[in-house]
Amino acid sequence: MPKAAALQYYHVASMVLNLLRSGATHNSANTGGLSESEYHALLVCGLACANDDPAIILKSFGTLAFCGRYLTSEDHRRGLIAMLL
């Protein structure tokens, strides 16, 4: 599995574990004031956006759809929609 796909799954797993542990509103000093879930969602989106491998892009649709609900910025949501279209 290419490194970008593995990193996407790592960040999705981190999101799920964080949600189970503390809820979607937990903030950390390491995330720049973002919730942990939004931080990981932005990383997943960035990995998908920065990759030009068609296989990675195709595999990203599920993770991007999952992550979208945790983006709170309207700009981030519009960017995700543009990537998915």
Interval 25-44: pLDDT, tens: 555 545 566 788 888 899 99
What mean pLDDT do residues 58-67 have? 84
Residue 3 reports pLDDT greater than 60: yes
What mean pLDDT do residues 56-82 have? 86
- The first and second tokens of residue 35, run together, are 């919730």
Those residues whose C-beta lies under 8 Å from the C-beta of residue 65, and which sit 6 or more positions away, are 84
